[in-house]
Chain A
Amino acid sequence: MQPVLPPSLSLAEFDRALKSFVKVVGDQWVLATDVDRETYLDAYALGDGHDHAPGAAVAPRSTEEVRAIVRLANEHMVPLWPVARGKNLGYGAAAPVMPGTVVLDLSRMNRILDVDAKFCHCVIEPGVGFFDLFNHLQDNKIPLWMSVPANAWGSVIGNAMDRGIGYTPYGDHTTKLCGLEVVLPTGELLRTGMGAMSGNKARLHYQFGFGPSWDQMFVQSNFGIVTQAGLWLMPEPEATARVRIELPEPEDIGWAIEALADLRRRDVIQHNIVLGNYLHNASVFSQRAEWYTGPGALPDSVSEQIMARYNMGWWSFALSLFGYDGAVRSHMDVVRRAIEPRLGKELQFEVWHRGDPIKRSAAGIPTVLPLQIVNWHGGRGGHVGFSPVMPPDGASALATFNRCKARFVEYGLDYYTSFTMGHRHISNVNMIIYNRDDADMVRRARSLFVRLVDDAAAAGFAEYRTHISFMQSVAESFNFNDHALLRLNERLKDMIDPSGILAPGKSGIWPKRHRRAQ
């Protein structure tokens, strides 16, 4: 099979580049067979995924090898797509935006370089997964807790660099990074924050350094490759309490958002909360065919059956409290006063104390169970999420819910949604689940996604993160002053990456040499 080549490169030129990579990492770690290319395709692609097919992959072991590969990529004008572990499932996984791009797979850079129990931080490489770090902390009895996302198969750094979240007080992952080591698109090595000073002993204690702080510039961007990062971890609390709450009616989302937003602003609740609809759980524990085999979206009558079988509400969410025992109990009372009168029943908290089995706590424990949702239709499943950021306003959330539900019905797709509540915002995660082998369903899923982008933009909202297929359209929805932000990003791109080799098209940012083609 003919390899997919980057634009304007001949097969001979591409081969020469790969041979030069072999000299750096060895033959085993330049992956360019047909099977290799297939393994780097998006496993949940809307279609066969070949519209984002990589040309090859290369897997360096060290920062120095990354630098060498980047220099060679400049020399040979070969585009690179860095991935930490390539498990950004639902967002394109390891696949690049531009076909022919070479995946720079950092999985082999998987060292936990330091964990400091006193200061509660660690230094890790991008190949370290959530399971790796969790096991390290547990095996070594280090009393530090980490935050994990719903799908914890991926990389700790990779998730933070895509603004992923978890569900403990340390759940805004990007904000817990402290000091990045970055290889710039020309191969130069940089450390941010206090680490910009050689030998600085406070680089893991203060995030900003002196002068402009560039850490955010490397998040969701194509301005550098993070090869190491400091990360703050949470000291194990004395106690936690957690409770699961079911809201019976769709309209309950309105008052719940109002009540929870107030508790979040006051830091009574210190973690991101996911208010998921019934399908959020039903798609993990069952398959569609058990409920409905007819055409179109699941009818409301079937939804009622699902809720009845699992004894759950239209919305479900988990709340957790963390801290000293007295503070946790005090906050339990505050939560009760805010929720119970509207709910009409008593909340049943499960309280954990230090020394009890961790599984009964509200700690972040890695799991991949939520990936079950792609099995909803059977066969080769996939999902893609559309997640606009909104104010934590009940009326607005209810209006969004009604609009999106109608759209899912219009496109004949089952309505899976949740509202994730952050500290000062909510994200309305609309998960479109599809069978990749059903071409009509894939077409409808893609059309629905585009429609949701337009609807949200018309309502004044945009996404915080997106799949590689939609990065361009989401970036273009940020259109203030004739896309001033996108134009700034492009100017920066051309300065910092003059050869245009790093992740062309990432977050809608194209280097000059590929821009016209878009």
Chain B
Amino acid sequence: MKRSLFLALTMLAGVLLAAANEQPAPVPTTGELLYARKCGICHAEGGTGTIMLGWRLGREQAVLAKRTDVAAEYVKAVVRSGLNSMPAITRVEVTDEELSAIADYLARDTDPGADPDE
């Protein structure tokens, strides 16, 4: 519980910091909206997927949407195959078209030449 309390405080600090540096919010892309709706249940800050990634890769790598080392094709492979305790996601739950948009959103800051391990 101490761990979860720490996470909650970290998240709160992030929210307060964002408010202090308030600037016009960028318009969310379709991929960003889809990611929030389809993946956010687990992968938003404080979510179970975020906690699990934090344990495995460290807190800096825990929030998928902030990563700069995930390739689009890797995202697609993980979603369809599952990874560790993440179940595979069907083409009914997230269509191929939706998955492409989500993958492009997550890979937006990734160097295409990078060799991601996650």
Q: Which of A's residues lie within 8 Å of B, judged by CB? A: 28-29, 31, 35-36, 38-41, 43-44, 57, 59, 85-86, 89, 93-94, 105, 107-108, 131, 153, 281, 285-287, 309-312, 368-369, 371-372, 374-375, 378-381
Contacts and interface: CB of A to CB of B under 8 A. Distances in A.
Contacts of B15: none
Nearest to B42: A368
Contacts of B82: 43
Interface stretch (B22-30, B44-52, B64-72, B110-118): B44-52
B38 to A, nearest CB: 11
**Size band of the interface chain B makes with A:** 20 to 34
B47 A368 contact: yes
Interface in B23-64: 41-42, 47-48, 51-52, 55-56
19 contacts: A29-B92, A31-B91, A31-B92, A38-B81, A39-B91, A86-B93, A105-B92, A107-B93, A281-B1, A310-B1, A310-B2, A311-B1, A371-B48, A371-B85, A372-B48, A379-B84, A380-B84, A381-B84, A381-B85
B88 interface: yes
B10 interface: no
Interface in B74-113: 80-82, 84-85, 87-93, 95
A59 B92 contact: yes
Contacts of B48: 368-369, 371-372
A41 B56 CA distance: 25
A192 B88 CA distance: 35
B84 to A, nearest CB: 6
B73 to A, nearest CB: 14
Most chain-A CB neighbours within 10 Å: which of B2, B47, B48? B48
Given A285-B4, A310-B1, A369-B48, A36 B91 contact: yes
A35 B90 CA distance: 9
A86 B92 CA distance: 11
Given A39-B90, A93-B87, A375-B85, 7 more contacts: A31-B90, A36-B91, A38-B80, A153-B41, A371-B42, A375-B52, A379-B84
A271 to B, nearest CB: 22
Contact of B85 (A29, A153, A369, A380): A380
A36 B2 CA distance: 40
A285 B2 CA distance: 8
A108 B92 CA distance: 7
B118 to A, nearest CB: 15
Contacts of A371: 42, 48, 85
Contacts of A378: 56, 84
Nearest to A380: B84
Nearest to A129: B41
B95 A375 contact: no
Contact of B51 (A85, A89, A372): A372
Contacts of A86: 90, 93
Contacts of B90: 31, 36, 39-40, 57, 86, 94, 105, 107
Nearest to B95: A28
A89 B87 contact: yes
Contacts of B41: 131, 153, 368
Contacts of B91: 28, 31, 36, 39
Contacts of B51: 372
B115 to A, nearest CB: 23
Contacts of B81: 35, 38
Nearest to A369: B48
A369 B7 CA distance: 13
Nearest to B86: A43
Most chain-A CB neighbours within 10 Å: which of B3, B81, B82, B93? B93
Contacts of A286: 3
Nearest to A373: B85
A309 B2 CA distance: 9
B47 to A, nearest CB: 7
B18 to A, nearest CB: 19
B85 A39 contact: no
Given A281-B1, A372-B51, A39 B84 contact: no
Contacts of A372: 48, 51-52
Most chain-B CB neighbours within 10 Å: which of A29, A39, A93, A372? A39
B92 A285 contact: no
Contacts of B84: 375, 378-381
Contacts of A312: 1
